[in-house]
Structure 1
Amino acid sequence: MKNIIFFSLFLVLFQTSTVQAQDLLKSTDLSTLKVDYLSDSDIIKIKTQLQANNVTIDQAEPMALSKGMSAGEFSKLKARLAQFDTKKEPSKEGTKEGLKNSGKDSEEINRQKEFGRKQQEIVNLKIKDSLNALVFGSELFDNPTLNFEPNLKLATPVNYILGPGDELQVSVYGVQEFNASIPVSVEGKVTLQYVGEISVSGMSIEAATQRIKSAFARVYSTVASGQSQVSVSLSQIRTIKVTLIGSRQPGNYSISSLATVYNALFLGGGPAKNGSYRNIELLRNNKVYKTVDIYNFLVNGDQSDNVGLKDNDVIRIPAYNQRVTVEGEVKRPGIFEMKKGESFADLLRFASGFNEFAYTASVNVLQKTAKEFKVRDIKQSEFSTYNPVSGDVFNVTKILNRFENRIKIEGAVFRPNFYSFAAGMKVSDLISRAEGLKEDAYSKRGTIIRLKSDLSTEIVNFDVAKAVAGDPTENILLKREDNVTIYSVLTFREEFKVTIDGEVRNPGEYDYYDNLTLNDLIVQVGGLTGSASKRVEVARMITSEEIDDANPLKAQLYSIEISPTRNEQAKNFILKPFDVVSIRKMAVYEKPESITIIGAVNYPGKYALVKKKSTVYELIQRAGGLTSLANIEGVKIKRPIQAKQIEDLENVNVNLGKKDSIQDKLEKKLKEELKFATIPLDWQEIVKDQSISANVTLFAGDEIEVATFNEGVKVAGNVLLTSEIPYVKGKAFKYYLNAVGGVDGKGWKRKAYVIYPNGKASVTNSFLFFNAYPKVKPGSQIIVPEKPEVKKATVGELVGIGSVISSLALLIITAFR
């Protein structure tokens, strides 16, 4: 009963709307079922019927096998269903199926719309050929752009042989119209409505067209009378099976019925490791139909061997007979397969010939005998007669790195270069080729560096002037690879220099020339500066063949007076090599310098220092004196810190040790933080007596600051409240400290200090348990610093200290007993 249910389900499962499926699957014998001939629409129908009856393909397997279907065909059917599921799987956004087709499906749809023809998808996996990488021709099967796929854009070939799986587009147009896509059934027939079945298998498309026209003419009178026309074209191309033997991937391949031999070879990865590239056999009906030589295509581009394939064709790749290797200076080195009767000239043609560096007079070949190796040289005259033997290794070497007829001339000629050598050439001939001698040529001597027969070198000297004049003793006969040198007189001259320093625009070292004068040098350096003095010193080296110990001078000194305004010297002084010219500066030549006065003066601003020693009192008087709002205790000078002061500090070693950073911190503070040094002034004392030291002499860049009277006292630092407290006459230091809440937990009251308006500071003095705090004045600042962190002693350290004290006490008691 269970078998009957499965059989019924199986019949329902395989019913299809197409004539092909009905004729095939309604029979009880499934042994003739060919899954490869089923179209995609058949697969869709089978899948739909399986889902409708809630039956899986695995459940239908026993019944299909019992009805004669082979296990191999059922496996193919199962694979087709699985492959179809993968290919047609909808995207995650199922509401937009029409917009989510894969790239390949879209390409296929576009191709069908454009050409009206389609091809069943063929999937053949291929691996890269690495074993035959050096074999000539292997690259043909590794290049993905050379797959030799059939072109579906071509018109229907009139000699195309129809078979099961093809699909014809049959159209009748004119008085009567008919249009249908008719598949060729597995029996090789097409079924036309109202006409019947017509056998077309094994017929060309042209013959099938005539038969279909005849069939239509018997049914439609208008076709017979010519009032209606019949058109037959190929709308779908079938898949055929071919077998590859001896390829990298041997086996059965599904390919297009329009495919050729090269397409199948490409799918199979080309010949295997020992496969032949020149004797590939195409077997059809158990006979050799064609022998394929791939070299015809690789060397000549000839595709006459690339014939079309038919169903059940076998491509057999036998092992090679002869292979040889070409190495060295050829355009395409590698391993080549040779046929009987082919010569080394043919092999050279396969390798695309010699490259531009090849030695072509002869080629070395390493041959293999029955026992050992041997070497043979093939001369150029033997290239077309020598037949390579399997295993030969041809080595094409480079030409020698030497010249057959080269000669060289260099130096003081107009065209120094390499020239061709000819027998009988002399020195004058070579100089003439080089366009003659230059003006600076040294005419007394030229040299020839000559390569002797033992490859050692020798030098040959000649008189250049006599050689050019044709003197037979000096006009030496040249040889190949001679190197002729004509010297320049400039090479024998020392490069002299003169130096000029001081008040000129571009001091430095300059080239010396004959008859160079002092005035020439001054003009060359851009003239004198405005501060140049009329005094000029020229130091000249002393030269002598003998040492004069009585002469204490190292150089000879010349003093000259010049006019700075005209850049002319009193006399035309001629310079000599290595002279050192010094242009002095005027004794008095300084631009006016200025200082700045800011604050409570009547006329603040910049003031020029007109005296060599200008004091604070003089400059404040020039500024109109202090205003009524000035704080006479708030006068100070801010003096810029000079770079030399920092340099002096860096050069002083305070011997604080390598790890001590006090000096480094001080240098950093001067460079980065402090811009001025403050000089506090006692203005009241200066007014009383201008001769006292407090009346400081000013320098350029100084800034005098006169503070405005301020009755407040600022309190800052480690206090509870940073604030400014009004000054109260008679109140001491503690009053202002208490007014801001006192010091905080980190404040160091014993080290508090006061900064007065003139920049002077006063610190707290301590004696035993008593602190003497500084006096507070209007405009002062009270600063409470932070206590330094003190590491507390541990319990162990305290115990150790107690032990030491106990030991000392015991020692003292013992000593005084």
Structure 2
Amino acid sequence: MQKRPFRTPLSMVLAMCATALFLCTTPAVAQGTTPFLTQIRNLTPKQQINYVLEARKRGYSLPQLEGLAKAQGATLEDLSLLRTAWSDSQTGGVGEGLQENLQDKGTRSFGNEPQMFDFFEEESDIFGSGFFANKNITETPQFYVATPAGYRLGPSDEITIDVWGASENRYEVTLSRQGVVRIDRLKPMYLSGLTLAAAERKIRNEFSSIYTGLSPDSPNESKVYLDVNLQKARSIVVNITGSVEAPGTYTISGFSSVLNALYAAGGPTENGSYRNISILRNGKEITSIDLYDFFVKGNYPSFFLNDQDVIVVAPHHKRITVEGAFKNTGRFETLENETIEDLLSYTGGFSSTAYKKAVYVDRVVELQREIIKIEQKAYVTAQLSDGDTVEAKNVTDKYTNRISVSGEVYLPGNYPFKETPTLSALLKSASGLTPNAYAEAAILYRSNQGFVNEVKTIDLAEIVNNTQDVQLQPNDSLVVISMENINPEKTVTIQGKVNEPGEVPFFKGMTARDLILIANGFQDRANTDQIELYTNVTEEQTNKRVDARWFSLAEAKEVELAPSDLMVVRLKPGYQSTTFVRLEGQVTRPGTYPIIKEDYTIYDLFHDAGGVLDGANLKGVSIERSITKETQENIEDTADSLNFFFKDDTKIKIGVDFEKVLSKKGDHPDNILLKSSDLVLFPKEDSTISILGEVQRETATPYDNSISLREAVIRAGGVKRSSDYKNAYVVYQNGDVRGTKNFLFFRIRPKLEPGAIVVVPLKEQRERISIQETIGLTSAIASLTLLVRSLTQ
């Protein structure tokens, strides 16, 4: 007997996808049986949110998760919990730890391949599909609202009957499966199918047998009142089938409308109808819903579902594509006998720039297509065919009667040709020329067949004086030029020790004193006795290019300036600003000290600071110096090949053996001249040696006179295999660095001092030749050998 090939049902595939989807959830969940989406209600809120974060990390969207849930038969409660967890994960309600989980990139696969859910992510252009794609909408109705007037009672509805007045009592009853309620001393009452108002009338009529005060003619002192309310709506099971995204059986509230149920099922598919949704009850169609009544007119379908109702979404009727100048474009559905006029109402009408007297229809006619023009008068009668594309044209941006003016007029813009047939009329409409207008020449651009093909220069002074006028043509454009463009601005410049140096406008009759006042006066130490003024004299056809002269502040009011003059106010001769150095460490008076002379040295600073404190390491003195921008540029210009690179705060450290400087009373090479902003440090004595780098254990060891570099490395456990011990070096406390020297066959290691650091560098890794490279090199040598042999023979 031949075995049939095993085929995996679609439902089983979806269940397997959902199972894989949860493999990356929280450890607390993963330890047990992997839950399905229908079991999300069994998780804690934190686990639910963590599950959603994992899903988002793997690239899943909310619609994709909803699709999986619906495929597994999830209830509205499951979907609501899923959406709440998704919302909380976006608002940070789970704390920072879980948010970090979202950013962590794991390696495990989450669920099945994402492309199987691509249809959830694509935005459909079908009219009405946006409603079902909106994640902010819930299919769960509000429970804490007044009972809708059209709601009809059914099995499992819970109602309360309140009696007050001369008698008070409260009855809480539930409709049985037969739609009956039972109350002591009364016969069973059949309420199924009745509205709440009708049920109240029936209950009132039955209760009047035990509460005589319910009678309308009862006296006031024995009056009894009755009120009936729905305490809890029943849950109903509906079947949704046809062209919907997730057909199946759904448990929903009795308050739910057809819209709620369709939203739970994901809405109609690409080929589903939004206008022919049938409701079957007991095998018979009891009503049909057109969702366009809600989307276009706002008429909410007030029809309520009963248990075991079937919602059938039929395939669409005529699908019409709308393009061009409509307020809403996309694909719309029309019914039989609907016309262009109906389609216009669905699109919201034409846009503001549309040509409204005709639309154009692209229609399939047998084996070909044709374009049909439909005039405005035929909108009411012209019917559409499935697959039609209806287009409304936008009007052109071309004008037939425009005259434009721009530039130096009070009211620039566009004017109608009939009101401005001449230039004088155009200037009058524009309220005339501004004071900055260059009236001697304006430019008139003239267009023909949409192109500017003629330019005229117009003397506007003659137009203003009525001695001449120019006839205009439609689409003419007049540009009135500014005097500032014709006569460029003239300037003078002031530089040097003034408060606001720079370039300023030149005015006729301007003097040097005026320019000084405009620059807001002098800075401190400005040389006001010798102000320099440079004037360009190249126009005078002499050998000189610039004429220079000098004057004092008292003479400045008599010095008249010319355009492009340069005035320079320099510092007083011989003046230099005070510079400072900073002293820190084991000194008597640390702080900031001025450089009091040109040859101010570290030895001078030592005496000015009153000497050092006990415990200062005179061999470890260092000077930290900033490299100026000028020095950086000079180094970079002269040593480009070295690829020097400096940061803005580049500093160097200079080591000083101040013990020798002190013993020679300053007559020693280490007695360095100090510069502005130098930082001089007298460190505290350090009685240890530090060993760093490629040693077994980086450490520090006490210093003694007999310790060598080799002994220090041994105290650190020796070197690693990756070390370059022969190039080990020592960094002293003052910043000096000394390496190993080679003399004949001997290596001379640097001596150690207190506070020194021994550094064992990493050995440079050399790339090994691969087998392929070895073979290639051998082949090349063999070929070269054969070539040499052939040449020598």
The alignment's TM-score, normalised by the length of structure 1, stands at 0.53
Deviation of 1:554 (Å) = 4.0
Correspondence 1:542 to 2:537 = yes
Bigger mean CA deviation after superposition, 573-582 or 341-350: 573-582
Deviation of 1:471 (Å) = 3.1
Correspondence 1:434 to 2:430 = yes
Distance 1:398 1:589, change over 3 A: same
Deviation of 1:569 (Å) = 1.3
Distance 1:380 1:743, change over 3 A: same
Aligned equivalents of 1:122, 1:742: Cα separation in 2: 84
Other-structure match for 1:735:
none
Describe the superposition over 1:632-660 as per-residue Cα deviations: whole angstroms up to 9, x where unpaired.
Answer: xxxxxx9x99999997899699x999889
Alignment of 1:354-393 (within 5 A): 354-393=350-389
Other-structure match for 1:138:
129
The correspondence for 1:154, drawn from 143, 146, 150, is 146
Distance 1:502 1:381, change over 3 A: same
Contact 2:359–2:374, Cα closer than 8 Å, also in 1: yes
Q: Which amino acid aligns with 2:129?
A: S
Aligned equivalents of 2:298, 2:287: Cα separation in 1: 18
Aligned equivalents of 1:647, 1:677: Cα separation in 2: 33
| Equivalences, count | 577
Q: Which amino acid aligns with 1:493?
A: N
Distance 1:247 1:390, change over 3 A: closer
Contact 1:747–1:785, Cα closer than 8 Å, also in 2: no
Describe the superposition over 1:322-370 as per-residue Cα deviations: whole angstroms up to 9, x where unpaired.
Answer: 2211123322222222223322122111011223343434322211101
Deviation of 1:302 (Å) = 2.5
Bigger Rg, structure 1 or 2? 1
Distance 1:420 1:746, change over 3 A: same
Contact 1:246–1:272, Cα closer than 8 Å, also in 2: no
Other-structure match for 2:57:
none
Q: Which amino acid aligns with 1:345?
A: E
Aligned equivalents of 1:172, 1:652: Cα separation in 2: 102
Other-structure match for 1:532:
527
Alignment of 1:276-675 (within 5 A): 276-283=273-280, 288-303=285-300, 306-310=302-306, 313-422=309-418, 424-453=420-449, 455-472=451-468, 475-500=469-494, 508-527=502-521, 532=527, 534-535=529-530, 538-544=533-539, 553-558=544-549, 561-562=551-552, 567-569=553-555, 572-581=558-567
Q: Which amino acid aligns with 1:476?
A: V
Deviation of 1:448 (Å) = 1.0
Contact 1:323–1:390, Cα closer than 8 Å, also in 2: yes
Deviation of 1:480 (Å) = 3.5
Describe the superposition over 1:156-177 as per-residue Cα deviations: whole angstroms up to 9, x where unpaired.
Answer: 9699465x54556567788988
Distance 1:328 1:148, change over 3 A: farther
The alignment partner of 1:479 has SS state of: coil
Contact 1:444–1:463, Cα closer than 8 Å, also in 2: yes
The alignment partner of 1:461 has SS state of: strand
Alignment of 1:193-208 (within 5 A): 193=184
Q: Which amino acid aligns with 1:390?
A: D
Q: Which amino acid aligns with 1:578?
A: S
The alignment partner of 1:327 has SS state of: strand
Deviation of 1:389 (Å) = 1.9
Deviation of 1:444 (Å) = 1.9
Q: Which amino acid aligns with 1:540?
A: T
The alignment partner of 1:532 has SS state of: coil
Aligned equivalents of 1:784, 1:287: Cα separation in 2: 99
Aligned equivalents of 1:789, 1:189: Cα separation in 2: 95
Which 5+ residue runs of structure 2 have no aligned equivalent?
1-34, 46-74, 81-116, 582-592, 609-620, 668-672, 677-684, 690-702, 712-752, 762-793
Q: Note the aligned Cα RMSD (angstroms).
A: 6.7
Distance 1:447 1:157, change over 3 A: closer
Deviation of 1:390 (Å) = 1.8
The alignment partner of 1:296 has SS state of: helix
Aligned equivalents of 2:150, 2:503: Cα separation in 1: 95
The alignment partner of 2:292 has SS state of: helix
Other-structure match for 1:104:
none
Deviation of 1:393 (Å) = 0.6
Deviation of 1:482 (Å) = 2.8
Describe the superposition over 1:145-198 as per-residue Cα deviations: whole angstroms up to 9, x where unpaired.
Answer: 364848674369699465x54556567788988765455544555554455656
Other-structure match for 1:602:
none
Aligned equivalents of 2:482, 2:458: Cα separation in 1: 15
Aligned equivalents of 2:347, 2:653: Cα separation in 1: 76
Aligned equivalents of 1:593, 1:238: Cα separation in 2: 90
Aligned equivalents of 2:78, 2:392: Cα separation in 1: 41
Deviation of 1:422 (Å) = 3.3
The alignment partner of 2:391 has SS state of: strand
Describe the superposition over 1:672-692 as per-residue Cα deviations: whole angstroms up to 9, x where unpaired.
Answer: 667999988999xx9xxxxxx
The alignment partner of 2:126 has SS state of: coil
Distance 1:256 1:609, change over 3 A: closer
Q: Percent identity?
A: 25
Alignment of 1:741-752 (within 5 A): 743-745=706-708
Distance 1:209 1:586, change over 3 A: closer
